[in-house]
Amino acid sequence: MLTNDLKDIKCNLEPSILDISIGDIAVQVQPLSKSSTIMEAFLRFMKDEKLGLLPVVDDSIVIGQVQRNRFLENTVLGRFGYGIHLNSKKSIYEVMEQPTFIIDYKMTLEDASLIIQKRELRNIYDDIIISKDNGYYGIVPINVLLEAITQRALIIAKDANPLTGLPGNWALQREIERRIRCKCIFDVCYIDINHFKPYNDYYGFEKGDRVISSLGMILRKLAVDRGEIFVGHIGGDDFIIIANSENSWNVCEMVIRNFEEFLPSFHGEDFTRGYYLSKNRNGNEELFKLLSLSCAIVSNEKRDIKSFAHLASIASEVKAEAKRQSRIKGTSVIVRDRRSE
For the chain, what are the domain ranges? 15-149, 160-336
CA dihedral of residues 318, 322, 325, 327 (deg, nearest 10): -130
Q: What are the distances in angstroms from CA 204 to CA 7, 196, 209?
A: 59, 11, 9
**Average of per-residue pLDDT across 244-251:** 92
Q: Coil, strand, or helix at residue 312?
A: helix
Structure confidence at residue 125 (pLDDT) = 83
Regarding the domain with residue range 160-336, which homologous superfamily does it belong to in the CATH classification?
Answer: Reverse transcriptase/Diguanylate cyclase domain (3.30.70.270)
Phi-psi region of 243 (alpha: psi -120 to 50; beta: other; left: phi over 0): beta
Fold matches, 15-149 and 160-336: no
- Helix, strand, or coil (residue 298): strand
Percent of the chain with pLDDT over 90: 50
CB atoms within 10 A of CB 261: 10
The amino acid at 245: S
Q: What is the pLDDT of residue 81?
A: 52
Write down the pLDDT at residue 65: 95
For residues 68-80, give the mean pLDDT. 78
Write out the CATH class of domain 15-149. Answer: alpha beta
Average pLDDT over residues 202-225: 94
pLDDT for res 78: 64
pLDDT average, residue stretch 131-153: 89
pLDDT tens, position by position, 312-340 = 888 999 999 999 999 899 899 999 987 65
Give the number of other Cβ atoms within 10 Å of residue 225's Cβ.
9
pLDDT tens per residue, range 272-294: 999 998 888 888 888 999 999 99
pLDDT, residue 87, reads 67
Count of C-beta atoms within a 10 Å radius of residue 311 = 20
pTM over 0.75: no
Residues 33-55: what's their mean pLDDT?
92
